[in-house]
Amino acid sequence: MSKHRSGRSASRREQVPASVAGLPVNKNDEVLLDIIGMTHEGEGVGRVDGFTLFVQGALPGEKVRARVLKTKKQYGYAKLMELVQASSDRIAPPCPIYDQCGGCQLQHMDYTAQLAWKRQLVVDNLQRIGKLNVAGGQDEGILVLPTLGMDEPWRYRNKAQVPIGVTDGGLVGGFYARGSHRIIDMETCLIQHEDNDKVVATVKSLGRELGITAYDEETGRGLLRHVVVKKAFRTGQMMLVLVTNGRDIPHVDAWIGSIREQLPEVASICQNINTQKTNVIFGNDTRVLWGSDVIHDYIGDVQFAISARSFYQVNPVQTEVLYGKTLEYAALTGSETVIDAYCGIGTISLFLAQHADQVYGVEIVPEAIEDARANAKLNGMTNVKFEVGASEDVIPAWKEQGITPDVIVVDPPRKGCDPRLLDTILLMKPERVVYVSCNPSTLARDLRVLEDGGYRTVEVTPVDMFPHTVHVESVAVLVRK
Show me where the domains of the chain are located. Answer: 3-85, 159-299, 315-480
Alpha-carbon distance values, 67 to 31, 60, 90, 165, 318 (Å): 6, 18, 21, 32, 39
Query: Residue 2's pLDDT is what?
Result: 39
Query: Residue 16's pLDDT is what?
Result: 40
DSSP letters along 210-256, please?
TTPPBP-TTT---SEEEEEEEE-TTT--EEEEEEESSS--TTHHHHH
Query: Residue 17's pLDDT is what?
Result: 41
Same CATH fold assignment for domains 3-85 and 315-480: no
Q: Which fold has domain 315-480?
A: Rossmann fold (3.40.50)
Query: Residue 13's pLDDT is what?
Result: 36
Calpha distance 223→228 (Å, rounded): 15
Query: Residue 15's pLDDT is what?
Result: 40
Query: Residue 4's pLDDT is what?
Result: 41
Query: Residue 7's pLDDT is what?
Result: 37
- Work out whether strand 455-463 and strand 143-144 pair parallel, antiparallel, or are unpaired: parallel
Q: Which residues contact 146 (CB under 8 A, 6 or more apart)?
A: 115, 116, 119, 462
Which residue type does 67 have?
R
Q: Which residues contact 374 (CB under 8 A, 6 or more apart)?
A: 305
How would CATH label the architecture of 3-85?
Answer: Beta Barrel (2.40)
Give phi and psi for 231, each to the nearest 5: -125, 120
**Gyration radius of the chain's alpha carbons:** 25
Q: Which of left, alpha, beta for 385 (phi over 0: left; psi -120 to 50: alpha)?
A: beta
CB 475, CB 436: distance < 8 Å = yes
Q: Which fold has domain 159-299?
A: OB fold (Dihydrolipoamide Acetyltransferase, E2P) (2.40.50)
Query: Residue 1's pLDDT is what?
Result: 39
> Average pLDDT per run of 10 along the chain, which is 481 residues long?
37 39 89 97 95 97 97 95 98 94 94 98 98 82 97 97 84 83 88 96 93 91 96 97 96 95 97 94 96 96 94 95 98 98 96 97 94 97 98 94 97 96 96 98 98 98 98 98 93
Q: Which residues contact 325 (CB under 8 A, 6 or more apart)?
A: 148, 461, 463, 475
Q: What is the pTM of this model?
A: 0.91
Calpha distance 479→122 (Å, rounded): 20
CB 247, CB 276: distance < 8 Å = no
Edge-first strand order for the sheet with 432-437 is 143-144, 455-463, 473-480, 432-437, 407-410, 337-341, 358-363, 384-388
Alpha-carbon distance values, 206 to 30, 118, 183, 289 (Å): 48, 41, 19, 16
Positions marked active-site: 438
Q: Residue 304: name the closest of 332, 331, 343, 263 by CA.
A: 343
Query: Residue 35's pLDDT is what?
Result: 98
- DSSP letter, residue 102: S
Calpha distance 191→349 (Å, rounded): 28
Q: Which residues contact 109 (CB under 8 A, 6 or more apart)?
A: 59, 89, 90, 91, 117
Query: Residue 119's pLDDT is what?
Result: 98
Calpha distance 166→227 (Å, rounded): 14
CB 288, CB 269: distance < 8 Å = yes
Query: Residue 169's pLDDT is what?
Result: 66
Length of the chain equals 481
Calpha distance 467→418 (Å, rounded): 28
